[in-house]
Amino acid sequence: MSFLIDGPALYLAGRRTAQAVRDPDAAEVVATATVAGFLAVSIPLYLNRPWTRPIWRLCRARSGRDWMINSGVLKVDDAAVGPTGHVMAAAAFVTYPLWMWLGLRHGRR
């Protein structure tokens, strides 16, 4: 998971969920579980929790925060992230349900 990938991945997951799960209530359960799964991994990655090490090492990142911010593409100094950066990260996490909702909405069309 990373900030560059998570939004589009959640959008696509929402579209696929809407197409595959015709019952709206069941689709909501799947969507909620998916967003919860993303948050359950992405937030600990950002916080550099020890159990996430295999994930960020697999992605060839220096840390979970490095992976979440840079995704192997950008060159932001993840060690120098201050309060403003943390607020921006929190704001990004808050958008996760929105990405899923947009995918569900467009998948139902």
pTM beyond 0.85, yes or no: yes
**Residues near 12 by Cβ (< 8 Å), separated by ≥ 6?**
103
Supply the pLDDT for residue 71. Answer: 85
Give how far Cα 4 sits from Cα of 20, 28, 78, 83, Å.
25, 24, 15, 20
DSSP code, position 62? S
Task: Chunk the chain into consecutive blocks of 10 residues (it has 109) and report each block's average pLDDT, rounded to whole numbers.
Answer: 92 97 95 98 96 95 93 83 94 98 95
Give the C-alpha distances (Å, rounded to integers) separating 22 from 11, 17, 19, 26, 27. 17, 8, 7, 8, 7
pLDDT on residue 79? 86
